[in-house]
Amino acid sequence: MKKINSSAAIIFLLGFFTFTACKNSGTDVPAAEPKVLSVTLLDADGNPFTKEQINAPKGSSIQFTVSVEVENNGSKEVSWSVSGGKSSILAGKLSIAADEPNGTVLTVTVQSNADNSKKDSIQVKVLDDGVQLYNININSSTGGTVSVQGGFTQMIQGETVTLNINANQNYLLSSITVTQAGGSTVALSGSGNTQSFTMPAANVIIDTVFVMQSQTGYNINIAAITGGIITVDGGLSKAPAGTSVTLIITRELGYLFDSLSITRSTTGSTVAISVNGNTCTFTMPASDVNISAVFTSAPFYTVTINGPFSNGTVTSGISQAPEGDVITLNITPAAGYRLSSLSITPKAPFGGTSTERNFIMPNENVTVTAVFSLKNEALDNTDGIKIGDTVTGKGKLVWRDEFNENILDLDKWNYDYGGGGQYPQGNAGWGNNEKQWYKSQNVRVENGNLIIEASLDAPGTLSPYGSGRLTTAGTRGSGGQTPNNLGVIYPPKEYLGPSNIGYVEARIKSPRGAGFWPAFWTLGADVNDESGYAAKGWPRCGEVDIFEVNGNNLTRLGQTIHYGASYPSQYWYTSNTTTTANMADTFHTYAASWDSTSLKFYFDGGLMRTISFSSLSGGANANASAFYDETPHVIIINLALGGNYLGGTTPANSVFTSTNWEDRSLQVDWVRIYE
């Protein structure tokens, strides 16, 4: 069961792994054969080239992109090559050698890895680096955009410059003018959305004017409203029948949006609407419409920052806010200190970064208290081992989180949010038919442990269950049942390595009972391109499942690697299931180690299995090199509910009403990485 990647977890150099974001119980291969239909080479903006050869000066670079059309889950992986000279290409970026002879014609080719008959190419003629390049400057304009095909900002005299013109909704292009230095106008050819000109021996400036379309159709009438404003996206005052119309809802300070209604002017009958946050959409009927809305006066509650604090500050630009507002706290530790505790009373869901925390204003006054402590490695040295120490059989300790402070360290971890469907190539249910919705408020640190406590959420919410998922890389996504700006994109965490040798371990206590699926695992950072690596996808990026438990059987430990060139036709996994003590009764240690030839799984310090990379199934398609190359992996810790691995079983409701919160919680004492 493939775990959908977000940006996974502590990018640490588990450089050899080939593992997936999944917990796999087996997936049926589709009956239809995967196919690659076409490969099209594109410019940096994603536009096809209109000629077979382009020019570029020596020592310069050109970024190409590609479009791959497939069916039946065909592979979109491609390879780039350049021939005819000394130049090189990597991930579509052509670097023209500074000593490439003048007049050399390079051929850039992109080819499908799955079907080498599907490919596309273009020729690049190398010009002398002494050739004069002239600038192309585009002034911004309201109502539309203009770009140069190929993404060029400089061209040589005599070259054809092609402009792509895109008018915004409800706007039309009125005029476009190209002026060269000195003030004279450059002649344009073509019409509509694509026009071109010949580059003069001078810099040029491009100006465009877009105008609103004359509006036809039926009238959109908005009544006077107290406490807020309703506007029509695109500035429409009319729309033809059948047109989808979007309304923007803006509340004024001290008011909350309550309701909105649309009626036909002719009959007074109601028009169906769909409200989503601060927008409302409807289909224009064959009559004028009247729009009204109600905003209610909202009580304001105070935000009290219970400072000043020693060795740091917490500030907010807001001292009063209504229920539901997102409040941002700015965190500034003094030099040599870090935030060690932040409490919001009453408890409110929050997210953010190590320098900013956001929380949702409840319907009562709030007090914020913070504690700052020295950046002291001793806080993590409960066992007498510090960063840089070498531990026999494991290596040098390079990263750790002992969870000894009452706050999640957002310099080490990020949250993943939502149900998985919002991620690139994602599927609802994180690719495994899981039932939880990940939220920051289901994660806490207390009494020296990381705790992910599952919840039974109210009917009508985004998912029947809430839970948590942490990664050591960047993350993104909707905050789920919190405003979207709590689900921001964070930069990746620090990469540790490179190294071809490593050991990663955690001390964990499992939740108790059927329907829970806790996991501690790693995923290749190149599963997508969000971490700065060329995307390989899954399972090519590799995955190692160090600890996963089917809550239906708490004495069976799963430890698995996932690998292969593509999914599903060239995908394999090898799993080791061990009978252990009940993993919900107490904490146990789970670990994996690796070198350039094999991977080993451990339980409570005992070796469970050694997997030799040379013995992997799949031959050339096993992509075994992913186990020992120098692409780092990231750590992920999550608590899933339901899903394929559990046979669809979900927890009994009584687990969530029980006073014993440990039965529904994944607890982690510490996480450590050695190399």
CB 438 within 8 A of CB 638: yes
Domain 394-674 has CATH 1.10.12.10: no
> According to the model, what pLDDT value does residue 482 have?
28
User: Which residues, in sequence order, are CB contacts of 276 under 8 Å at separation 6+?
Assistant: none
How long a stretch of residues is the chain?
675
Report how far apart, in Å, the C-alpha atoms of 425 and of each of 4, 269, 420, 482 are: 8, 42, 9, 23
Considering the entire predicted model, what is its pTM? Answer: 0.55
88-90 sheet: strands from edge to edge: 61-63, 93-95, 88-90
Task: Sort strands 189-191 and 194-198 into parallel, antiparallel or unpaired.
Answer: antiparallel
Report the distance separating Cα 582 and Cα 597, nearest Å.
32
Q: How many CB atoms lie within 10 A of CB 71?
A: 11
One-letter identity of residue 548: E
CB 110 within 8 A of CB 40: no
What tokens does 221 get?
């009438």
User: Which residues, in sequence order, are CB contacts of 325 under 8 Å at separation 6+?
Assistant: 318, 360, 361
CB 638 within 8 A of CB 452: yes
Q: In the block, which residue shows the tokens 């039974």?
A: 456
Q: ∠ at Cα 493 (491, 497), nearest 5°?
A: 135
Could you tell me which residues are beta bridge partners of residue 310? none
User: What is the CATH topology of the domain spanning 35-127?
Assistant: Immunoglobulin-like (2.60.40)
| Max CA pair span of the chain | 84
Report how far apart, in Å, the C-alpha atoms of 173 and of each of 43, 214, 240, 283, 367 are: 24, 13, 21, 27, 54
Task: Sort strands 133-138 and 204-212 into parallel, antiparallel or unpaired.
Answer: parallel
Q: Give 246: exposed, middle or buried? Use CB within 10 Å, 0-12, 13-18, 19+.
A: middle
CB 642 within 8 A of CB 435: yes
Could you tell me which residues are beta bridge partners of residue 559? 576
Our measurement of the distance from residue 212's CA atom to the centroid of its chain's CA atoms, rounded to an integer in Å, reads: 36
**Which run of H or E residues covers position 654?**
helix 654-657
Report the distance separating Cα 167 and Cα 211, nearest Å.
9
> According to the model, what pLDDT value does residue 458 have?
62
The DSSP call for residue 643 is S
User: Which residues, in sequence order, are CB contacts of 614 under 8 Å at separation 6+?
Assistant: 597, 624
Closest Cα to residue 353, out of 418, 407, 421? 407
The CATH architecture one would assign to domain 133-212 is: Sandwich (2.60)
What tokens does 584 get?
């919900």
DSSP string, 167-191: EPTTEEEEEEEEEETTSPEEP-EEE
Q: How many CB atoms lie within 10 A of CB 101?
A: 11
Instruction: List where CATH 2.60.120.200 sits in the chain.
Output: 394-674
Closest Cα to residue 202, out of 252, 156, 145? 156
Report the distance separating Cα 658 and Cα 101, nearest Å.
77
What tokens does 115 get?
């079907």
The DSSP call for residue 662 is G
Q: Give 337: exposed, middle or buried? Use CB within 10 Å, 0-12, 13-18, 19+.
A: middle
DSSP string, 8-33: -S--B--TT----S---S--PPPSSP
Instruction: List where CATH 2.60.40.1080 sits in the chain.
Output: 35-127
Closest Cα to residue 341, out of 371, 305, 309? 371
Q: How far apart are the first and last CA of the chain?
A: 30
User: What is the CATH topology of the domain spanning 220-297?
Assistant: Immunoglobulin-like (2.60.40)
The DSSP call for residue 200 is -
**Which run of H or E residues covers position 291?**
strand 289-297
> According to the model, what pLDDT value does residue 7 have?
37
Give pLDDT tens digits for 106-120.
999 999 988 889 999
> According to the model, what pLDDT value does residue 9 have?
37
Report the distance separating Cα 363 and Cα 409, nearest Å.
28
CB 56 within 8 A of CB 128: no
**Which run of H or E residues covers position 656?**
helix 654-657
Give pLDDT tens digits for 543-575.
899 999 999 899 999 999 888 877 777 778 787
- Which stretches of the chain score pLDDT less than 50? 1-31, 424-426, 475-500
Report the distance separating Cα 393 and Cα 403, nearest Å.
24
One-letter identity of residue 99: D
Per-residue three-class SS string for 341-356: EEEEECCCCEEECCCE
Sign of the C-alpha dihedral computed for residues 405, 407, 411 and 412 taken in this order: positive
Report the distance separating Cα 588 and Cα 583, nearest Å.
7
Q: Give 137: exposed, middle or buried? Use CB within 10 Å, 0-12, 13-18, 19+.
A: exposed
